Structure 1
Amino acid sequence: MSNPKKTSAPSITHWAVLIGVDKYVYVDTTGDSESENPPTIDRSLKGAVADVVAIKNCLKTQPHVRTTTLAIENPDPEANSSEADQDPETLPTRDNVYRVLKKVIDEGSCNGVKHVYIHFSGHGTHIPGDLALALYHPSTHFAVYLRSSVLASALDKMVKQGMYVTLVLDCCFSGSVKRTSRLHDDAIRFIEYNTVLDSESDATNPFAEWDTGIVRNGTYSVDRMLDAKGYTVITACSPTENASEIELVGGKRRGALSYFLEQTLRMLQDVRTQITHATLYSYLQTRVHAQFPQQTPMRYGSTEFCFFESIIGNTGEHFVMVTYDKENRILVLSAGEAHGVSDGDEYEAYPYYESEDKKEQPKSQPMLAKVFNVQGLTSNLCTVDSLQLHRLESIRNWKAKPVTSFHTRKTGVGLLASIPNEMTERLEESAKKLHFIEFYREEAASFGTCTFIVGASLENEFEIYDHYSHMITGLPKITYDNENALNPLINTLDHLAKFKFFENFGNCRPDPHFYNSFSLDVNPNAQEDGWFQVKHGTDWKLTITNTGSAPIYIAILNLRPSYEICNMVAEAGEGEDFQIPAKGHPESILELPMTMKVPGFMRVAGRTKSEDIIKIFVTSKRTSFPGTLAPSLMGAESCSGDTRHNGGNAHSLSIHDFTESFTGTRSNNRGHWVTQNFLIRTYI
């Protein structure tokens, strides 16, 4: 009789470190220091430990995931249990956190664990010059600070070991936001800075031996931990907002971010599907903000991986979040006029949990929807097939991708007679599915207005010219000697047209009150022709001041010489936009120095000048521009050495009048927006 084969245990590839602190009781040091019995302050939470327990239970079914939990609850006064009954190595102390992080780093050096997830639920605080997490300490003060600079050093080391790191912080770092009356004081995950606690919190960095100390040029960040290079950070709110606990049925509490994250992960496990990190974040942002309008989850750092998903290659498609407004029985698309949406555009909508892996077939049929009532930052959708309406009652959150566009400002592309007639007809047919292109034959009356012109050479190659009949150099060579030759041509033309569309895109009728609620200042000043002349390797500075009574949001796109459209905020690891608080707040002025360089691919070609267009979107509420991003057409090298923005100190500025002629056509009542283009010519 043969012995049954032993099955080897699955190798551990993922490590989750879960830290939850409910107990926060410390001595009040603000009163009489000579008192024998100084009063204590109880800032304990009720849902932090429940957060990490829920995430742990969600991960325990995954055999390749190792979980380490450090947590302490606030004991029930009527119960006999205490922290003395708990294994000391499972308490969320600073020493235990350091010990576990070092183990994770050591494991990475052995090429074992490659994915790390760190989840903290508890109080955060803002200490002079740093952010900090409040950990448990078995002393009369019951808390100790873990500085974010120390945590960032540990994360940097993990990244250098080739590990993919995701950090989730269900806490907040701002005490400046007024607490609303509907929130319990113990539901806010911020603890006031305490000098005694700080003095007991040894600021020595145990990971300093691994810290290079390199100053990270090319970014503007509020904190080094959020200046995430190579790892992902998801926070419960922006640095100027408060993170809240949500009260469930029965009076139990959970952190809003942790609760919706856990619910989403369980649903994905049930349907056995995979979504991208971007969709996961967008969904969390939508759900949390709907429950707590004063709280908006933020994402910093890399967007290309997440602990909860397999690494999926770029799908090449951007989905936009869609929510069902049950009261008004309409679908709301999280994109509007500012994103180039037009009435009549058609979208395919999928349940938000539908897989985005191109290798998988969708498990549910898409729902075709048409745009109507375009607002500034959002739009309404109606289903084309009324038989699909019943699906909205059971699924409230969707995601959509455009399938047909009716932009009134499409880019004209002229087709020369040198192109074989059969190919011309196929190009004209393809235009029906293109969002940004309208083709015109050489004999058409509108041919002379075309932005780009395409011809065919004697060498069986397509040639693309600009409006002035100058050939665009540096583009990939496209031949037409096979039946698939039109695909790369169409992709290139669509890319160029998209670039020009967003270059010319703007709002010609911004709301006057919003228009006057902020100011811009630039240095150096523009020349008489409107261009800014900047020497290679030096800074062009943009300063934005919020002079209004509400926060504003800034997205910065760089339209580069390589025909790349880059979201500079996301590229710098700062999320998708900057939030600038209202007038009077210490951070109501934002200065962004941008180092300008002639790209490497142009310098290699002997060119000494380059032109960038910096496009600023100023909006009244947070939004995103995923559909506007486009990769370089000139190869990977063109991305290096282009415009980057680096850190700087805010200063006062004068009012800067907008001079651009905006080309938008609609005003809006559900979110205001303004655009401004800055034309920058860099020279060597």
Structure 2
Amino acid sequence: MPNQNDSDSNIHALLIGIDNYSSTSLFKSLEGAVRDINLVEAFLKNTLKLPTERIRRLIAPNREDTVLLVARSAHEPEPTYENIVKAFTELTEAAQPGEQIYIHYSGHGGRATTIYSDLKGEGQSDEGIVPMDIGQPDGRYLRDVELATLLKRMTDKGLVVTVILDSCHSGGTTRGDYAIRSSGETDTAIRPRESLVGSREELINNWRSLTEGIHRTAWIPVSRDYVVLAACRPTESAYEYSVNGKERHGALTYWMLDTLNTLPGTLTYKALHDRVGAKIQSKFPSQLPMLLGEGDRAIFGTNRISTHYTVTVLQVNASQQRVKLNAGLANGLDSGTRFAIFPFNTADFANKQKQVAIVEVTDIEASSATARVLAEVEGGIGVKGQIEPGAPALLLAAPTDLVRRVRFHDQKQLGEAENELPTQALVDQQKEALDAVRQALAGNGWVMEVQPGEEGHYQVALGKNGEYEICIGMPIKNLNPPLMFRDAAAPREVVQRLVHLTKYQSVQELDNPASELMDALEFILLDQNKQPFPNPSNITLKHGTKAYLRVKNTASQALNVAVLDLEPTWQISQIPLRGNNAAFYELAPQETADIPLRFTAPEGAAYQQAKEMLKLFATRGAADFRWLRLPPLDHVIEKQHEATRGIQSAFGKLLEAVGTEPNAAPVMTRAAVYEPDPNADWVTKQIQVTIVPESLLPD
């Protein structure tokens, strides 16, 4: 259920649904677009109690659909190009700053030869909404350049904008009981060049300002100023189908409303996207919904809600015994890794009573894993409720080879040296203090006490002031505030810090040097003039230095890439590629992305020489690396570098893009059959940087 605290009176809605494309042979008429709009309108009125006068509808039912024709008011304008532009303009004028705009479009998406060749280049395409009168002699698309300006006018006024696009703008055909909301062709017809949205100069200038240095992954440029939930990526298809065996609906709209109507509590767009995506992927593996913008914003609200990044359940078998997760080898998983599955939209993952099931990974691929549901686990029953696609799965224990060992050093002597204690009382209290941490280690899944004959990764000891020390060779500095052994909560917090360090170093060590993709990507750091550094294996930069991170796909296929920043504060953040801070960025063959960065050292004497690692992950499939992100070890510190255009908030996880049709018969072949190596489908690369004050740089 959406947040209704601020939704009753400040929402304006524009709903556009087009089934009737009878005036053109390029786009086949649909059956579910108007039905989508009627369902959305019913939700707005019945659930949000939105007054009729705040809802604008433009619908075009098929002429033979008498039920939907009757539902259309005689006074409602049809969704022609002119009427759609007019509706956007009137909506912008009517809404007041701070109010919300909700736009829902169900119909065809189209691609046409660009009429902005001076902006996009000769031979390129425009994409956008297909009005019902596209088949008329003067028929026009509402093109991406126009739509961007219409939305910019709204956000410039201070309106809070949400756009739902249940359509696609790539290839497809109609088959069986499914329809794809696109013609599958690029329209090369000569069409009017003038726009009713604005002057050509305004449209071009707005587009340039919005897209400078940013790659479009939808019809409109990525922006923090609005939320966009699109049915699919640009190269994919958006389906409408008979969900109940009778009436067609857009897959995105149907599962969006199903989620809003059946799930309690305040949802974020990220949570909505997770469940909707999983539901769609279980039916149409080739349709991967996209979420752009403020994914942590409450649905039909203006407040932001902090989110806990977890793995997502993509599929559940009928017997509730096996699940598919959207993480795999590239995320550091291995057979035997265990997850706790929680109900959809869970906010409190510390409450074990809310766990629905415990699962254990059995089969693993580069970007996904299959896990079995455990009937019983230590400490209780393994299954406590129904598992559904979209549910969050929280990692319980690290893969065996990522578990770290800790040694407790309780043999410090009395003295003034660095490794000695200043009072006999502290010497005598060492064992008691460290035994408390030993007890707190139980059940954390990531850190265990070193066993005889094993090497330890960390050492915990008592410091000169009665504080706990965590050592990796030498005591780690800047562990603030100090954890004093007399504090009852300190042992548990020491374990939390050890787990944090373990996760950080596990991400550091993720590697796949034998991958087939090793030579498919160029990953280098360039200076502010976009020239390579003299010694790329030993880059030392002064505080405040600007640079460019270059990622280039030299392969013949698109790759999904993400770049994590392993910061000296033990924080792991994600660097947005071309302004897109989604779970991954689809890097086209031969595409190059240059990301502007500024490096700064954290405050504090411990960071006089700060080590920072930029780590690239690339997969053929759709892996999600958001759950690898970590906050700083001790306290919230401003991000240590930022893209020149600003780091954007999380857009939410994208979901698995690879799969097979349910119940599809296997393809038989006489060729030799072999089990493909999932390690071939992912790769990592990394760049180490040292950041120092200018005064410490060598001459």
TM-score when normalising by structure 2: 0.75
- The equivalences for 1:598-637 within 5 A come to 598-599=599-600, 601-602=602-603, 610-633=610-633, 636-637=636-637
**Corresponding residue for residue 588 of structure 1:** 589
**Corresponding residue for residue 79 of structure 2:** 92
Decide whether the 8 Å contact of 1:144 with 1:200 is kept in 2: no
Distance 1:280-1:362 versus aligned 2 partners, 3 A rule = farther
Counterpart AA for 1:347:
F
Decide whether the 8 Å contact of 2:214 with 2:221 is kept in 1: no
Distance 1:12 1:677 in 2: 50
Distance 1:205-1:274 versus aligned 2 partners, 3 A rule = farther
Tell me, which stretches of 5 or more residues in structure 1 are unaligned?
Answer: 1-8, 28-39, 581-586, 648-665
- The equivalences for 1:163-202 within 5 A come to 164-174=160-170, 177=171, 179=173, 187-188=181-182, 192-193=186-187, 196-202=190-196
Q: Does 1:261 align with 2:256?
A: yes
1:403-423 deviations in Å (ceiling 9; x for gaps) = 333432234445443684333
Decide whether the 8 Å contact of 1:246 with 1:254 is kept in 2: yes
1:676 pairs with one of 671, 675, 685:
685
Decide whether the 8 Å contact of 2:609 with 2:690 is kept in 1: yes
Decide whether the 8 Å contact of 2:366 with 2:619 is kept in 1: no
Distance 2:67 2:509 in 1: 69
**Corresponding residue for residue 382 of structure 1:** 372
1:381-427 deviations in Å (ceiling 9; x for gaps) = 223227877966x9566432223334322344454436843332232
Residue 638 of structure 1 aligns to a residue in which SS?
A: coil
Counterpart AA for 1:520:
E
Q: Does 1:369 align with 2:366?
A: no
2:36 pairs with one of 51, 63, 75:
51
By how many angstroms is 1:185 displaced? 7.2
Distance 1:454 1:219 in 2: 46
Decide whether the 8 Å contact of 2:229 with 2:292 is kept in 1: yes
Residue 20 of structure 2 aligns to a residue in which SS?
A: coil
By how many angstroms is 1:504 displaced? 0.7
**Corresponding residue for residue 46 of structure 2:** 61
Counterpart AA for 1:429:
Q
2:392 pairs with one of 399, 423, 430:
399
**Corresponding residue for residue 343 of structure 1:** 335
Q: Does 1:19 align with 2:16?
A: yes
Counterpart AA for 2:477:
I
Residue 286 of structure 1 aligns to a residue in which SS?
A: helix
Percent of residue pairs identical = 18
Distance 1:591-1:255 versus aligned 2 partners, 3 A rule = same
1:503 pairs with one of 501, 508, 523:
508
**Corresponding residue for residue 660 of structure 1:** none
- The equivalences for 1:39-188 within 5 A come to 41=26, 43-65=28-50, 68-76=55-63, 86-87=73-74, 90-94=77-81, 96-98=83-85, 100-101=87-88, 105=92, 109=96, 111=98, 113=99, 115-127=100-112, 128=114, 129=120, 130-137=126-133, 140-141=136-137, 143-156=139-152, 158-159=154-155, 164-174=160-170, 177=171, 179=173, 187-188=181-182
Counterpart AA for 2:565:
N
1:578 pairs with one of 577, 581, 585:
585
**Corresponding residue for residue 3 of structure 1:** none
By how many angstroms is 1:321 displaced? 1.6
Residue 401 of structure 2 aligns to a residue in which SS?
A: coil
Distance 1:463-1:172 versus aligned 2 partners, 3 A rule = same
Distance 2:445 2:578 in 1: 25
Q: Does 1:494 align with 2:499?
A: yes
- The equivalences for 1:239-258 within 5 A come to 239-248=234-243, 252-258=247-253
**Corresponding residue for residue 277 of structure 1:** 269
1:439-497 deviations in Å (ceiling 9; x for gaps) = 459xx7656x53x5444434344444443x26433754444442123344433332222
Counterpart AA for 1:321:
V
Tell me, which stretches of 5 or more residues in structure 2 are unaligned?
Answer: 1-5, 115-119, 121-125, 413-428, 648-674, 695-699
By how many angstroms is 1:163 displaced? 5.1
**Corresponding residue for residue 426 of structure 2:** none
Decide whether the 8 Å contact of 2:312 with 2:392 is kept in 1: yes
1:117-158 deviations in Å (ceiling 9; x for gaps) = 322112223453354222345993484333334444454555
By how many angstroms is 1:326 displaced? 3.6
Distance 1:545-1:316 versus aligned 2 partners, 3 A rule = closer
Counterpart AA for 1:427:
V
1:324-348 deviations in Å (ceiling 9; x for gaps) = 2349953223222222223333322
By how many angstroms is 1:502 displaced? 0.1
Q: Does 1:290 align with 2:278?
A: no
Decide whether the 8 Å contact of 2:276 with 2:390 is kept in 1: no
By how many angstroms is 1:260 displaced? 2.0
Counterpart AA for 2:130:
A
Distance 1:59-1:423 versus aligned 2 partners, 3 A rule = farther
**Corresponding residue for residue 663 of structure 2:** none
Distance 1:462 1:343 in 2: 35
1:459 pairs with one of 465, 469, 482:
465
| Stretch deviating more after TM superposition (206-215 or 370-379) | 206-215
Q: Does 1:544 align with 2:549?
A: no
By how many angstroms is 1:223 displaced? 6.3
Distance 2:211 2:27 in 1: 39
Decide whether the 8 Å contact of 1:454 with 1:463 is kept in 2: yes
Distance 2:184 2:220 in 1: 17
Q: Does 1:639 align with 2:639?
A: yes
Decide whether the 8 Å contact of 2:279 with 2:389 is kept in 1: no
| Stretch deviating more after TM superposition (430-439 or 521-530) | 521-530
Counterpart AA for 2:261:
R
| Stretch deviating more after TM superposition (486-495 or 52-61) | 486-495
Decide whether the 8 Å contact of 1:347 with 1:400 is kept in 2: yes
- The equivalences for 1:407-486 within 5 A come to 407-417=400-410, 420-440=430-450, 446=454, 449-450=456-457, 452-467=458-473, 469=474, 471-473=476-478, 475-486=480-491
Distance 1:403 1:287 in 2: 25
Decide whether the 8 Å contact of 2:477 with 2:606 is kept in 1: no
Distance 1:244-1:409 versus aligned 2 partners, 3 A rule = same
Decide whether the 8 Å contact of 1:154 with 1:207 is kept in 2: no
Decide whether the 8 Å contact of 2:34 with 2:61 is kept in 1: no
Distance 1:395-1:178 versus aligned 2 partners, 3 A rule = closer
Distance 1:54 1:671 in 2: 45
Residue 294 of structure 1 aligns to a residue in which SS?
A: coil
Counterpart AA for 2:602:
F
Residue 589 of structure 1 aligns to a residue in which SS?
A: coil
Counterpart AA for 2:595:
M
Distance 1:232-1:474 versus aligned 2 partners, 3 A rule = farther
Distance 1:489-1:241 versus aligned 2 partners, 3 A rule = same
Q: How many residues align?
A: 620
1:42-90 deviations in Å (ceiling 9; x for gaps) = 5432222121212222332224545524232243259699899855554
**Corresponding residue for residue 302 of structure 1:** 294
Distance 1:672 1:679 in 2: 24
Distance 2:138 2:20 in 1: 8
